[in-house]
Structure 1
Amino acid sequence: MSTKGFYKEFEVFSKRTHTSPLQYQFSLLAPNKEIALIMAQENFMRREPVVDIWVVERSHIRRMTQEEKESLHRIDNKDYRTTKGYGYLKKKWRQYEQGMLDEQEIMSWGGKKQE
């Protein structure tokens, strides 16, 4: 019997806590998904605590084609959607605050009018 078609590649993911996201851990070779899960538990649960392990056959994972990846590129400038697009606001806010808090403003807080 040839071993070429006997083993399948599986990808292993785990969660440390019930609220944490799944994290990729490693790949393994196994004859079926049941054995793959047992191997993942033996290899992974000894090392660190986990609440869930997922084993996915690699051939069942679909990746994007090159054409689909090209559709992800943005044509227009959408920097405002990322935090780097707001980098100028700190400086602008500081200038605004400094402009507002002049001597006359501060003196008015005490209830006395400046002559």
Structure 2
Amino acid sequence: MSKEENGFYQVFEVFSKKTDTSSLQHQFSLLAPNRDLAFIMAKENFFRREQVADIWVVKREDVKRMSQDERESMKQLNKDYRETKGYGYLKKKWRQYEQEQLTEKDIMGGGDK
């Protein structure tokens, strides 16, 4: 909905973080005449209900969403090489290596390992 369609108000999306290290989560949408008033309304809503570390307020029209064609093209990309399924044996191998007893010769660099 653009500003012309609904008159005076614009739609804003509100995101929040519970802690500094948590990720942003979408909370709700609100109608406000401008960004500053939307931010004040979001703060009032949160401080009345729960404690948050950060609040983000964004105009809905400024949020870009992928189209159906873009989503379909992303499915076509093969990214199997980025998955680490083939390295599951390394944890066991590292544990065996850590449990081996090192001799003085191994420490000084003369070991046969």
Q: TM-score, normalised by structure 1?
A: 0.62
**C-alpha distance after superposition, 1:47-106 (max 9, x if no partner):** 11111100000000011112111111146694x938xx68xx7xxx9xxxxxxxxxxxxx
- What does residue 59 of structure 1 align with? 61
- CA-based RMSD of the aligned residues comes to 2.7
- Pick one of 46, 50, 53 that aligns with 2:52: 50
- What does residue 17 of structure 2 align with? 15
Q: Percent identity?
A: 55
**Whole-Å Cα distance in 2 between the matches of residues 75 and 51 of structure 1?**
37
Max radius of gyration: which structure?
1
**Whole-Å Cα distance in 2 between the matches of residues 74 and 3 of structure 1?**
37
Structure 2: gaps spanning 5 or more residues: 93-113
- Pick one of 3, 23, 31 that aligns with 1:29: 31
1:71 alignment partner, SS class: helix
Structure 1: gaps spanning 5 or more residues: 94-115
Pair 24,77 (structure 1): closer, same or farther in 2 beyond 3 Å: closer
The runs of 4+ residues in structure 1 deviating greater than 3 Å are 74-78
Bigger helix share: 2
- What does residue 5 of structure 1 align with? 7
2:41 alignment partner, SS class: helix
Letter in 1 for 2:12: F
Pair 74,38 (structure 1): closer, same or farther in 2 beyond 3 Å: same
**Whole-Å Cα distance in 1 between the matches of residues 61 and 34 of structure 2?**
13
State how many pairs are aligned. Answer: 86
Q: TM-score, normalised by structure 2?
A: 0.63
